[in-house]
A and B are shown apart, each in its own frame.
Chain A
Amino acid sequence: QAVVTQEPSLTVAPGGTVTLTCGSSTGAVTSGHYPYWFQQKPGQAPTTLIYETTNKHSWTPARFSGSLLGGKAALTLSGAQPEDEADYYCFLSFHEGVVFGGGTKVTVL
């Protein structure tokens, strides 16, 4: 199965902007991989922020956006808030199944 890669950790200043990426060992990520982004805070179940590359749920804060960037899926957080400190996971869909990335721990500091 493919390997999906994410940055292990990133730090962003309050009010700052950070971009998380999600790459595939099989090559460029496209919309056909239906990229998803999830946020998970300690002790809580994951919540879905972005689905199928760019789509937001009603509960997704406007400061989060999804895109394709340089052959990867990307999650951009613009105007980071303290409550955005969390683990972020992506996944990509392949013919043989779905693969999650290892997650990115985002620190707001």
Chain B
Amino acid sequence: EVQLVQSGGGLVRPGGSLRLSCAASGFSVSDYFMHWVRQVPGKGLIWVSRIGVDPMKINYADSVKGRFTISRDNADNTLHLQMNNLRVEDTGVYYCARSLGFFWGQGTVVTVSS
């Protein structure tokens, strides 16, 4: 069974950093595209980043380029999102997801506020 369990998140001041993690089971993160998606409550879904089977194949939304870094740890079978220089507009619920079926994590809340 495919499962994604997220951790990290919380409250941080503008300019701060956070690291989100997404522990996978039932498959290997190295075998699939993996994604991060954000949603502000009451608003739509916003794609943030993806990493391919080839770890050099990485894409980011324009709004996070240069500030966020997606990575994976094959040994721990975990996906990460390092978020630096956070802005108020980065606030939302962050979901990790696996491609080919788009299986979702449970989501984790990130609040950027002074």
Nearest chain A residue, comparing its CB with the CB of B93: A45
A97 to B44, CA, bound (A): 17
- In the bound complex, do residue B95 and residue A45 qualify as a contact, i.e. CB atoms below 8 Å apart? yes
Decide if A98 touches B35 in the complex (CB within 8 Å).
yes
Q: Is the CB of A45 within 8 A of B102?
A: no
Q: Are A100 and B102 in contact (CB under 8 A)?
A: no
How far does the Cβ of A38 sit from chain B's closest Cβ, in whole Å?
7
Cβ of B46 within 8 Å of any chain A Cβ, yes or no, is yes
Interface residues of A in 27-54 (CB under 8 A from B): 36, 38, 40, 45-48, 51-52
Decide yes or no whether B50 CB sits under 8 A from chain A: yes
Considering only residues 30-81 of chain B, those with a C-beta below 8 Å from chain A are 35, 37, 44-47, 49-50, 59-62
A96 to chain B: which residues have CB within 8 Å?
59
Interface size on B, residues (CB 8 A): 20
CA distance A102 to B101 in the complex (A): 20
Bound CA span A108–B21, Å? 38
A-facing residues in B66-114 (Cβ within 8 Å)? 95, 100-104, 106-107
| Contact yes or no, B44 A100, CB < 8 A | yes
Taken together as a complex, chains A and B put the C-alpha atoms of A89 and B46 apart, in Å, by 10
| Interchain Cβ contacts within 8 Å, total number | 49
Residues on B with beta carbons closer than 8 Å to the beta carbon of A89: 44-45
B residues near A52, Cβ cutoff 8 Å: 100
With both chains docked as a complex, state the minimum distance between the C-beta of A103 and any C-beta of chain B, in angstroms: 5
Point out the residues of chain A lying under 8 angstroms from B101, CB to CB.
48, 51, 55, 57
- Are A100 and B61 CB-contacts (below 8 A) given A45-B104, A48-B101, A51-B102? no
A101 vs B107: C-alpha distance in the bound complex, in angstroms? 20
Would you give 20 A-B contacts (Cβ < 8 Å), ordered by A?
Answer: A1-B61, A36-B102, A40-B45, A45-B106, A45-B107, A46-B95, A47-B104, A48-B102, A52-B100, A55-B101, A89-B45, A96-B59, A97-B50, A97-B59, A97-B60, A98-B47, A100-B37, A100-B44, A101-B44, A103-B44
Interface residues in chain A, defined as those with a beta carbon under 8 Å from any beta carbon in chain B: 1, 36, 38, 40, 45-48, 51-52, 55, 57, 89, 91, 96-103
